[in-house]
């Protein structure tokens, strides 16, 4: 969430991430970080799950977030679908 990240839309990705996690009921910890020196590839979304290799997504857009969350987190019960 450095200045370049925010300029590239990280705030919107962050909001979309919280919404996607709420919809799936996923119990994930969201950690905001500062500049990692790859501003040209932002926004980033890194998934770190126990006993799995970390996965880093770059140039993420809010419309990508639901798919990324569903790929890594199973919903707790039925998920609410919004169109």
Binding residues for ligand FES (CB under 6 A): 2-5, 35-36, 38-39, 42
Give least dist CB 11 to ligand FES, A. 12
Please identify, using beta-carbon distances, which residue of 36 and 49 lies nearer to ligand FES: 36
Separation CA 1–CA 4 (nearest Å)? 8
Please identify, using beta-carbon distances, which residue of 38 and 80 lies nearer to ligand FES: 38
Please identify, using beta-carbon distances, which residue of 15 and 22 lies nearer to ligand FES: 15
Separation CA 75–CA 79 (nearest Å)? 6
- For the chain, the 3-state helix, strand and coil shares in percent, each to the nearest 5, are 40, 5, 50
């Amino acid at each position: 969430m450095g200045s370049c990240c925010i300029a590239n839309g990280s705030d919107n990705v962050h909001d979309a991430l919280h919404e996607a996690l709420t919809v799936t009921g996923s119990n994930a910890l969201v950690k905001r970080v500062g500049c990692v020196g790859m501003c040209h590839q932002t926004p980033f979304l890194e998934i770190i799950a126990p006993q799995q290799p970390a996965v880093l997504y770059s140039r993420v857009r809010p419309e990508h977030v639901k798919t990324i969350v569903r790929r890594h987190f199973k919903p707790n019960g039925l998920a609410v679908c919004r169109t």
